[in-house]
Amino acid sequence: MLDYSKFLKYSKPGPRYTSYPTALEFSDAYEYDTYIKKMEAQDSSRPLSLYFHLPFCKNACYFCGCSVVFTSKEDKMLRYMEYLKRELEILSKHLDCKRQVIQMHFGGGTPTFFTADQLKIIIDEIKSYFPNFIEGAEISCEIDPRHINEDQMRVMSEAGFNRVSFGIQDFNEKVQIAVHRVQPYSITKDAMDLARKYNMLSVNVDLIYGLPFQTLETFKETLALAITLNPDRFAVFNYAHVPWLKKTMRKIDETTLPLPDEKLAIMQYTIDFLTSNGYKMIGMDHFAKPEDELFKAIEKGELHRNFQGYTTKGGADLIGVGLTSIGEGADSYNQNFKVMVEYEEAIDAGRLPFERGVVLNADDQIRQYVIMELMSNFKIDIERFNKLFDVDFSTYFADALEELKPFAEDDLLTMDDKSIVCSETGTLLIRNIAMPFDAYMHQHKASKKTFSKTV
Protein backbone atom coordinates (compact mmCIF):
# COMPACT_ATOMS: atom_id res chain seq x y z
CA MET A 1 0.00 0.00 0.00
CA LEU A 2 1.47 3.33 -1.04
CA ASP A 3 1.86 5.94 1.69
CA TYR A 4 1.67 9.36 0.03
CA SER A 5 2.09 11.22 3.32
CA LYS A 6 5.82 10.49 3.12
CA PHE A 7 6.43 12.07 -0.26
CA LEU A 8 6.65 15.82 0.13
CA LYS A 9 9.38 15.80 2.76
CA TYR A 10 11.59 13.95 0.28
CA SER A 11 11.14 16.53 -2.46
CA LYS A 12 14.62 17.82 -3.26
CA PRO A 13 16.88 18.17 -6.30
CA GLY A 14 18.41 14.91 -7.45
CA PRO A 15 19.70 13.07 -10.55
CA ARG A 16 17.52 10.78 -12.65
CA TYR A 17 20.48 8.36 -12.87
CA THR A 18 20.34 7.44 -16.51
CA SER A 19 24.08 7.11 -15.92
CA TYR A 20 26.54 7.05 -13.06
CA PRO A 21 28.56 9.17 -12.82
CA THR A 22 25.96 11.59 -14.18
CA ALA A 23 26.57 13.82 -17.19
CA LEU A 24 27.63 16.60 -14.82
CA GLU A 25 30.89 14.72 -14.34
CA PHE A 26 31.62 14.49 -18.09
CA SER A 27 34.61 16.65 -19.03
CA ASP A 28 37.30 17.17 -21.65
CA ALA A 29 39.78 15.56 -19.26
CA TYR A 30 38.72 12.39 -21.07
CA GLU A 31 40.83 12.93 -24.18
CA TYR A 32 40.07 11.92 -27.75
CA ASP A 33 43.01 9.53 -28.08
CA THR A 34 41.97 7.67 -24.92
CA TYR A 35 38.41 7.47 -26.21
CA ILE A 36 39.57 5.95 -29.51
CA LYS A 37 41.80 3.43 -27.74
CA LYS A 38 38.93 2.35 -25.51
CA MET A 39 36.61 1.94 -28.48
CA GLU A 40 39.17 -0.11 -30.40
CA ALA A 41 39.74 -2.29 -27.33
CA GLN A 42 36.08 -3.14 -26.79
CA ASP A 43 35.31 -6.83 -26.33
CA SER A 44 34.00 -8.05 -29.68
CA SER A 45 31.91 -10.71 -27.96
CA ARG A 46 29.78 -8.00 -26.33
CA PRO A 47 26.73 -6.98 -28.37
CA LEU A 48 25.96 -3.45 -29.46
CA SER A 49 23.13 -1.05 -28.70
CA LEU A 50 22.91 1.81 -31.20
CA TYR A 51 21.48 5.27 -30.59
CA PHE A 52 20.96 7.78 -33.40
CA HIS A 53 20.07 11.37 -32.58
CA LEU A 54 17.91 13.04 -35.23
CA PRO A 55 17.69 16.51 -33.71
CA PHE A 56 15.28 18.50 -35.88
CA CYS A 57 11.93 19.94 -34.81
CA LYS A 58 9.75 22.49 -36.58
CA ASN A 59 8.81 24.35 -33.38
CA ALA A 60 9.79 24.40 -29.72
CA CYS A 61 7.75 22.55 -27.09
CA TYR A 62 8.45 24.70 -24.04
CA PHE A 63 8.68 21.76 -21.61
CA CYS A 64 11.27 19.88 -23.67
CA GLY A 65 14.68 19.11 -22.19
CA CYS A 66 16.11 17.45 -25.30
CA SER A 67 18.89 18.74 -27.56
CA VAL A 68 16.95 20.09 -30.51
CA VAL A 69 17.60 22.08 -33.69
CA PHE A 70 14.59 24.09 -34.86
CA THR A 71 14.23 24.32 -38.63
CA SER A 72 11.86 23.85 -41.53
CA LYS A 73 14.63 23.87 -44.13
CA GLU A 74 15.16 20.58 -45.92
CA ASP A 75 18.72 21.44 -46.92
CA LYS A 76 19.76 21.40 -43.25
CA MET A 77 18.33 17.91 -42.86
CA LEU A 78 19.98 16.65 -46.04
CA ARG A 79 23.29 18.11 -44.85
CA TYR A 80 22.89 16.32 -41.50
CA MET A 81 22.22 13.02 -43.28
CA GLU A 82 25.49 13.42 -45.16
CA TYR A 83 27.39 14.06 -41.91
CA LEU A 84 25.76 11.02 -40.27
CA LYS A 85 27.02 8.93 -43.18
CA ARG A 86 30.52 10.32 -42.77
CA GLU A 87 30.44 9.77 -39.01
CA LEU A 88 29.52 6.11 -39.60
CA GLU A 89 32.41 5.77 -42.04
CA ILE A 90 34.90 7.10 -39.45
CA LEU A 91 33.31 5.01 -36.70
CA SER A 92 33.78 1.82 -38.75
CA LYS A 93 37.55 2.39 -38.69
CA HIS A 94 37.64 2.18 -34.88
CA LEU A 95 34.80 -0.21 -34.03
CA ASP A 96 34.07 -3.80 -35.01
CA CYS A 97 30.71 -3.11 -36.66
CA LYS A 98 30.15 -6.80 -37.41
CA ARG A 99 29.27 -7.40 -33.76
CA GLN A 100 25.71 -8.42 -32.98
CA VAL A 101 23.26 -5.54 -32.65
CA ILE A 102 20.55 -6.23 -30.07
CA GLN A 103 19.02 -2.77 -29.86
CA MET A 104 18.68 0.40 -31.92
CA HIS A 105 16.85 3.59 -31.05
CA PHE A 106 16.06 6.75 -33.01
CA GLY A 107 15.67 9.74 -30.72
CA GLY A 108 15.38 13.47 -31.17
CA GLY A 109 14.21 16.01 -31.85
CA THR A 110 11.53 14.53 -34.04
CA PRO A 111 12.98 11.58 -36.00
CA THR A 112 9.85 11.46 -38.17
CA PHE A 113 10.48 15.04 -39.23
CA PHE A 114 12.51 13.25 -41.90
CA THR A 115 10.44 11.98 -44.85
CA ALA A 116 9.86 8.29 -45.53
CA ASP A 117 12.49 8.30 -48.29
CA GLN A 118 15.01 10.07 -46.04
CA LEU A 119 14.38 7.62 -43.20
CA LYS A 120 14.95 4.71 -45.57
CA ILE A 121 18.26 6.20 -46.71
CA ILE A 122 19.38 6.63 -43.08
CA ILE A 123 18.33 3.09 -42.12
CA ASP A 124 19.95 1.50 -45.17
CA GLU A 125 23.17 3.38 -44.46
CA ILE A 126 23.19 2.15 -40.86
CA LYS A 127 22.60 -1.46 -41.89
CA SER A 128 25.37 -1.28 -44.49
CA TYR A 129 27.80 -0.70 -41.61
CA PHE A 130 26.02 -2.84 -38.99
CA PRO A 131 24.82 -5.95 -40.86
CA ASN A 132 24.28 -8.25 -37.87
CA PHE A 133 21.03 -7.29 -36.19
CA ILE A 134 19.88 -10.32 -34.22
CA GLU A 135 16.44 -11.78 -34.79
CA GLY A 136 14.08 -10.02 -32.38
CA ALA A 137 16.37 -7.03 -31.88
CA GLU A 138 14.59 -4.16 -30.17
CA ILE A 139 14.36 -1.40 -32.78
CA SER A 140 12.48 1.68 -31.65
CA CYS A 141 11.68 5.26 -32.55
CA GLU A 142 10.35 8.30 -30.72
CA ILE A 143 7.44 9.78 -32.65
CA ASP A 144 5.58 13.05 -32.48
CA PRO A 145 2.04 12.07 -33.62
CA ARG A 146 1.79 15.40 -35.44
CA HIS A 147 4.64 14.30 -37.73
CA ILE A 148 3.96 10.73 -38.86
CA ASN A 149 2.31 9.32 -41.97
CA GLU A 150 1.68 5.89 -43.41
CA ASP A 151 4.70 5.92 -45.72
CA GLN A 152 7.02 6.61 -42.78
CA MET A 153 5.45 3.89 -40.64
CA ARG A 154 5.69 1.42 -43.54
CA VAL A 155 9.39 2.16 -44.02
CA MET A 156 10.08 1.61 -40.33
CA SER A 157 8.05 -1.59 -40.23
CA GLU A 158 9.82 -3.02 -43.29
CA ALA A 159 13.18 -2.13 -41.68
CA GLY A 160 12.34 -4.14 -38.55
CA PHE A 161 11.22 -1.40 -36.17
CA ASN A 162 9.01 -3.03 -33.57
CA ARG A 163 8.57 -0.39 -30.85
CA VAL A 164 7.42 3.19 -31.02
CA SER A 165 6.93 5.85 -28.38
CA PHE A 166 4.34 8.59 -28.85
CA GLY A 167 4.67 11.89 -27.05
CA ILE A 168 1.30 13.07 -25.72
CA GLN A 169 2.16 14.98 -22.51
CA ASP A 170 -1.42 16.26 -21.96
CA PHE A 171 -4.68 16.38 -23.93
CA ASN A 172 -6.01 19.56 -22.31
CA GLU A 173 -6.05 22.39 -24.87
CA LYS A 174 -5.19 25.12 -22.35
CA VAL A 175 -2.15 23.14 -21.19
CA GLN A 176 -1.15 22.41 -24.79
CA ILE A 177 -1.28 26.08 -25.73
CA ALA A 178 0.78 27.03 -22.66
CA VAL A 179 3.55 24.59 -23.62
CA HIS A 180 3.34 25.40 -27.36
CA ARG A 181 2.30 21.91 -28.44
CA VAL A 182 -1.26 21.71 -29.72
CA GLN A 183 -2.06 18.06 -30.45
CA PRO A 184 -5.72 17.01 -30.61
CA TYR A 185 -6.72 13.51 -29.52
CA SER A 186 -7.73 12.58 -33.09
CA ILE A 187 -4.17 13.09 -34.36
CA THR A 188 -2.76 10.83 -31.63
CA LYS A 189 -5.46 8.21 -32.29
CA ASP A 190 -4.58 8.15 -36.00
CA ALA A 191 -0.89 7.64 -35.14
CA MET A 192 -1.78 4.79 -32.77
CA ASP A 193 -3.92 3.13 -35.47
CA LEU A 194 -0.98 3.31 -37.88
CA ALA A 195 1.34 1.67 -35.35
CA ARG A 196 -1.12 -1.19 -34.86
CA LYS A 197 -1.68 -1.55 -38.62
CA TYR A 198 2.05 -1.96 -39.15
CA ASN A 199 2.43 -4.49 -36.34
CA MET A 200 4.50 -2.56 -33.83
CA LEU A 201 4.93 -5.05 -30.99
CA SER A 202 4.95 -2.41 -28.29
CA VAL A 203 3.57 1.10 -28.28
CA ASN A 204 4.49 3.46 -25.47
CA VAL A 205 2.86 6.81 -24.71
CA ASP A 206 4.47 9.61 -22.72
CA LEU A 207 2.57 11.86 -20.33
CA ILE A 208 3.96 14.66 -18.15
CA TYR A 209 2.51 15.99 -14.92
CA GLY A 210 3.52 19.33 -13.44
CA LEU A 211 2.87 21.38 -16.61
CA PRO A 212 1.23 24.84 -16.65
CA PHE A 213 -2.49 24.97 -15.75
CA GLN A 214 -2.65 21.25 -14.96
CA THR A 215 -4.98 20.25 -12.16
CA LEU A 216 -6.04 16.89 -10.86
CA GLU A 217 -9.35 17.25 -12.70
CA THR A 218 -7.78 18.13 -16.06
CA PHE A 219 -5.27 15.29 -15.77
CA LYS A 220 -8.07 12.83 -15.00
CA GLU A 221 -9.51 13.74 -18.40
CA THR A 222 -6.13 13.24 -20.09
CA LEU A 223 -5.76 9.79 -18.52
CA ALA A 224 -9.31 8.81 -19.51
CA LEU A 225 -8.52 9.67 -23.14
CA ALA A 226 -5.06 8.07 -23.08
CA ILE A 227 -6.38 4.75 -21.79
CA THR A 228 -8.69 4.46 -24.82
CA LEU A 229 -5.56 4.22 -26.99
CA ASN A 230 -4.69 0.94 -25.22
CA PRO A 231 -0.89 1.47 -25.20
CA ASP A 232 1.39 -1.34 -24.04
CA ARG A 233 3.34 0.97 -21.75
CA PHE A 234 2.87 4.36 -20.14
CA ALA A 235 5.71 6.66 -19.15
CA VAL A 236 4.37 9.33 -16.81
CA PHE A 237 7.12 11.83 -16.05
CA ASN A 238 7.37 14.51 -13.42
CA TYR A 239 8.07 17.73 -15.35
CA ALA A 240 11.65 18.85 -14.75
CA HIS A 241 11.56 22.66 -14.80
CA VAL A 242 15.18 23.71 -15.35
CA PRO A 243 15.00 27.12 -17.12
CA TRP A 244 18.62 27.83 -16.19
CA LEU A 245 19.56 24.95 -18.53
CA LYS A 246 16.84 25.15 -21.20
CA LYS A 247 16.01 28.58 -22.61
CA THR A 248 12.63 27.53 -24.02
CA MET A 249 11.45 26.72 -20.48
CA ARG A 250 11.79 30.42 -19.66
CA LYS A 251 8.70 30.98 -21.79
CA ILE A 252 6.63 29.13 -19.18
CA ASP A 253 4.96 31.34 -16.57
CA GLU A 254 6.08 29.70 -13.33
CA THR A 255 2.99 31.03 -11.49
CA THR A 256 0.87 28.67 -13.63
CA LEU A 257 2.75 25.53 -12.58
CA PRO A 258 0.84 23.25 -10.17
CA LEU A 259 2.02 23.30 -6.55
CA PRO A 260 3.69 20.22 -5.04
CA ASP A 261 0.53 19.01 -3.28
CA GLU A 262 -1.42 19.20 -6.57
CA LYS A 263 1.34 17.28 -8.35
CA LEU A 264 1.27 14.68 -5.60
CA ALA A 265 -2.50 14.31 -6.00
CA ILE A 266 -2.02 13.87 -9.76
CA MET A 267 0.65 11.23 -9.22
CA GLN A 268 -1.49 9.40 -6.67
CA TYR A 269 -4.52 9.36 -8.95
CA THR A 270 -2.40 8.29 -11.96
CA ILE A 271 -1.03 5.28 -10.11
CA ASP A 272 -4.45 4.25 -8.84
CA PHE A 273 -6.06 4.78 -12.26
CA LEU A 274 -3.50 2.88 -14.31
CA THR A 275 -3.17 -0.02 -11.88
CA SER A 276 -6.98 -0.36 -11.73
CA ASN A 277 -6.97 -0.50 -15.54
CA GLY A 278 -4.61 -3.46 -15.80
CA TYR A 279 -1.17 -1.83 -15.79
CA LYS A 280 1.58 -2.56 -13.30
CA MET A 281 3.99 0.04 -11.97
CA ILE A 282 7.70 -0.13 -12.77
CA GLY A 283 9.63 2.14 -10.47
CA MET A 284 9.19 5.86 -10.47
CA ASP A 285 7.58 6.65 -13.81
CA HIS A 286 6.74 3.60 -15.94
CA PHE A 287 3.67 1.38 -16.21
CA ALA A 288 3.19 -1.67 -18.40
CA LYS A 289 0.82 -4.54 -18.98
CA PRO A 290 1.61 -7.58 -16.79
CA GLU A 291 2.67 -9.70 -19.77
CA ASP A 292 5.31 -7.12 -20.74
CA GLU A 293 8.90 -8.39 -20.87
CA LEU A 294 9.94 -5.72 -18.35
CA PHE A 295 8.22 -7.66 -15.57
CA LYS A 296 9.95 -10.91 -16.44
CA ALA A 297 13.24 -9.01 -16.25
CA ILE A 298 12.38 -7.53 -12.83
CA GLU A 299 11.46 -10.97 -11.48
CA LYS A 300 14.86 -12.26 -12.60
CA GLY A 301 16.66 -9.12 -11.40
CA GLU A 302 17.73 -8.43 -14.99
CA LEU A 303 16.14 -5.07 -15.75
CA HIS A 304 18.59 -2.42 -16.93
CA ARG A 305 18.56 1.35 -17.24
CA ASN A 306 20.34 3.54 -19.76
CA PHE A 307 19.87 6.87 -21.52
CA GLN A 308 16.75 5.54 -23.28
CA GLY A 309 15.11 4.47 -20.00
CA TYR A 310 14.33 0.95 -18.80
CA THR A 311 15.35 -1.95 -21.01
CA THR A 312 15.80 -5.72 -20.90
CA LYS A 313 18.83 -5.46 -23.20
CA GLY A 314 21.77 -5.34 -20.83
CA GLY A 315 25.40 -6.28 -21.28
CA ALA A 316 25.81 -4.23 -24.47
CA ASP A 317 28.12 -1.40 -25.42
CA LEU A 318 26.04 1.67 -26.31
CA ILE A 319 27.23 3.53 -29.42
CA GLY A 320 25.87 7.06 -29.78
CA VAL A 321 25.82 8.55 -33.27
CA GLY A 322 24.87 12.09 -34.23
CA LEU A 323 24.79 15.49 -32.59
CA THR A 324 25.01 15.35 -28.74
CA SER A 325 24.63 11.54 -28.64
CA ILE A 326 25.96 9.69 -25.62
CA GLY A 327 27.72 6.32 -25.70
CA GLU A 328 28.61 3.93 -22.92
CA GLY A 329 31.43 1.40 -22.73
CA ALA A 330 32.29 -1.08 -20.00
CA ASP A 331 34.07 1.61 -17.96
CA SER A 332 33.37 4.94 -19.68
CA TYR A 333 30.80 7.36 -21.06
CA ASN A 334 31.33 9.62 -24.06
CA GLN A 335 29.31 12.43 -25.61
CA ASN A 336 29.39 14.03 -29.04
CA PHE A 337 29.46 17.77 -29.64
CA LYS A 338 26.22 19.62 -28.88
CA VAL A 339 26.87 22.48 -31.31
CA MET A 340 26.34 21.65 -34.99
CA VAL A 341 29.31 23.68 -36.24
CA GLU A 342 31.69 21.84 -33.88
CA TYR A 343 30.11 18.49 -34.78
CA GLU A 344 30.69 19.14 -38.48
CA GLU A 345 34.22 20.49 -37.99
CA ALA A 346 35.29 17.30 -36.21
CA ILE A 347 33.96 15.09 -39.01
CA ASP A 348 35.51 17.37 -41.66
CA ALA A 349 38.83 16.76 -39.90
CA GLY A 350 38.34 12.99 -40.16
CA ARG A 351 37.66 12.60 -36.43
CA LEU A 352 34.69 11.27 -34.54
CA PRO A 353 32.68 14.20 -33.10
CA PHE A 354 33.65 13.34 -29.51
CA GLU A 355 33.58 16.29 -27.12
CA ARG A 356 33.73 15.00 -23.56
CA GLY A 357 33.11 12.08 -21.28
CA VAL A 358 34.33 10.29 -18.19
CA VAL A 359 36.41 7.20 -17.48
CA LEU A 360 35.16 5.28 -14.45
CA ASN A 361 37.64 4.48 -11.71
CA ALA A 362 37.19 1.43 -9.45
CA ASP A 363 35.02 3.36 -6.98
CA ASP A 364 32.83 4.70 -9.80
CA GLN A 365 32.24 1.17 -11.11
CA ILE A 366 31.27 -0.13 -7.69
CA ARG A 367 28.84 2.73 -7.10
CA GLN A 368 27.52 2.51 -10.66
CA TYR A 369 26.57 -1.12 -10.04
CA VAL A 370 24.74 -0.32 -6.81
CA ILE A 371 22.90 2.74 -8.13
CA MET A 372 21.83 1.02 -11.36
CA GLU A 373 20.63 -2.06 -9.45
CA LEU A 374 18.50 0.19 -7.26
CA MET A 375 17.19 2.22 -10.19
CA SER A 376 16.38 -0.89 -12.24
CA ASN A 377 15.49 -3.71 -9.88
CA PHE A 378 14.83 -1.71 -6.67
CA LYS A 379 16.97 -3.96 -4.49
CA ILE A 380 20.57 -4.89 -3.73
CA ASP A 381 21.68 -8.47 -3.21
CA ILE A 382 24.53 -7.77 -0.78
CA GLU A 383 25.99 -11.27 -0.88
CA ARG A 384 26.11 -11.12 -4.67
CA PHE A 385 27.77 -7.69 -4.50
CA ASN A 386 30.44 -8.94 -2.05
CA LYS A 387 31.35 -11.83 -4.36
CA LEU A 388 31.31 -9.70 -7.49
CA PHE A 389 33.61 -6.98 -6.20
CA ASP A 390 35.44 -8.80 -3.38
CA VAL A 391 34.45 -5.87 -1.15
CA ASP A 392 32.51 -5.87 2.12
CA PHE A 393 29.36 -3.89 1.36
CA SER A 394 28.58 -2.83 4.94
CA THR A 395 32.11 -1.47 5.46
CA TYR A 396 32.45 0.18 2.06
CA PHE A 397 29.08 1.89 2.31
CA ALA A 398 28.91 2.56 6.05
CA ASP A 399 28.07 6.25 5.48
CA ALA A 400 25.39 5.45 2.92
CA LEU A 401 23.78 2.86 5.17
CA GLU A 402 23.60 5.45 7.93
CA GLU A 403 21.88 7.86 5.54
CA LEU A 404 19.37 5.15 4.62
CA LYS A 405 18.16 4.59 8.18
CA PRO A 406 15.42 7.27 7.95
CA PHE A 407 14.16 5.57 4.79
CA ALA A 408 13.93 2.29 6.69
CA GLU A 409 12.13 4.02 9.57
CA ASP A 410 9.61 5.39 7.05
CA ASP A 411 9.07 1.86 5.64
CA LEU A 412 10.48 2.88 2.28
CA LEU A 413 12.94 0.00 2.37
CA THR A 414 14.12 -2.91 4.46
CA MET A 415 17.80 -3.54 5.22
CA ASP A 416 19.69 -6.48 6.65
CA ASP A 417 23.04 -8.20 6.10
CA LYS A 418 21.82 -9.89 2.93
CA SER A 419 19.87 -7.26 1.03
CA ILE A 420 18.32 -3.84 0.66
CA VAL A 421 14.80 -4.05 -0.75
CA CYS A 422 12.60 -1.06 -1.57
CA SER A 423 8.95 -1.07 -0.61
CA GLU A 424 6.25 -0.21 -3.13
CA THR A 425 6.29 3.38 -1.87
CA GLY A 426 10.09 3.37 -1.88
CA THR A 427 10.29 2.57 -5.59
CA LEU A 428 8.64 5.93 -6.29
CA LEU A 429 11.39 7.64 -4.28
CA ILE A 430 14.16 5.54 -5.77
CA ARG A 431 16.19 8.61 -6.82
CA ASN A 432 16.33 9.68 -3.16
CA ILE A 433 17.30 6.16 -2.06
CA ALA A 434 20.10 5.99 -4.65
CA MET A 435 21.61 9.38 -3.77
CA PRO A 436 23.45 8.27 -0.58
CA PHE A 437 25.58 6.00 -2.78
CA ASP A 438 26.55 8.89 -5.09
CA ALA A 439 30.08 10.06 -4.27
CA TYR A 440 29.62 13.27 -6.26
CA MET A 441 26.44 14.55 -4.58
CA HIS A 442 28.31 16.59 -1.96
CA GLN A 443 29.77 18.72 -4.79
CA HIS A 444 26.28 19.72 -5.90
CA LYS A 445 24.35 20.03 -2.63
CA ALA A 446 24.99 23.76 -2.35
CA SER A 447 23.40 24.43 -5.74
CA LYS A 448 19.63 24.40 -6.12
CA LYS A 449 19.98 24.77 -9.88
CA THR A 450 21.66 21.50 -10.74
CA PHE A 451 18.95 18.84 -10.82
CA SER A 452 15.17 18.77 -11.01
CA LYS A 453 13.21 17.87 -7.87
CA THR A 454 12.57 14.21 -7.11
CA VAL A 455 8.88 14.81 -6.27
What confidence score (pLDDT) does residue 2 get?
62
Is the pLDDT reported for residue 1 higher than 70?
Answer: no
Q: In which band, very low, low, confident or very high, does the pLDDT at 153 lie, cut at 50, 70 and 90? A: very high
Is the pLDDT reported for residue 413 higher than 90?
Answer: yes
Strand, coil or helix: what is 167? strand
Q: In which band, very low, low, confident or very high, does the pLDDT at 296 lie, cut at 50, 70 and 90? A: confident
161-200 tens-digit pLDDT: 999 999 999 999 999 999 999 999 999 999 999 999 999 9
254-295 tens-digit pLDDT: 999 999 889 889 988 999 999 999 998 886 788 999 888 887
Domains, in order of start, for the chain: 1-21+362-455 (1.10.10.920), 23-318 (3.80.30.20)
Strand, coil or helix: what is 455? coil
By the 10 Å C-beta count (0-12 exposed, 13-18 middle, 19+ buried), 30 is classed as buried
Looking at the DSSP bridge assignments, the partners of residue 108 are 54
Is the pLDDT reported for residue 452 higher than 70?
Answer: no
What confidence score (pLDDT) does residue 227 get?
97
Is the pLDDT reported for residue 453 higher than 70?
Answer: no
Q: In which band, very low, low, confident or very high, does the pLDDT at 52 lie, cut at 50, 70 and 90? A: very high
358-408 tens-digit pLDDT: 999 999 999 999 999 999 889 999 999 999 999 999 999 999 999 999 999
DSSP 24-85: GG-BTTS-HHHHHHHHHTS-TTS-EEEEEEE-EESS--TT--S--EE---HHHHHHHHHHHH
Strand, coil or helix: what is 326? strand
- Distance separating alpha carbons of residues 48 and 328, to the nearest angstrom: 10
89-139 tens-digit pLDDT: 999 999 999 999 999 999 988 999 999 999 999 999 999 999 999 999 999
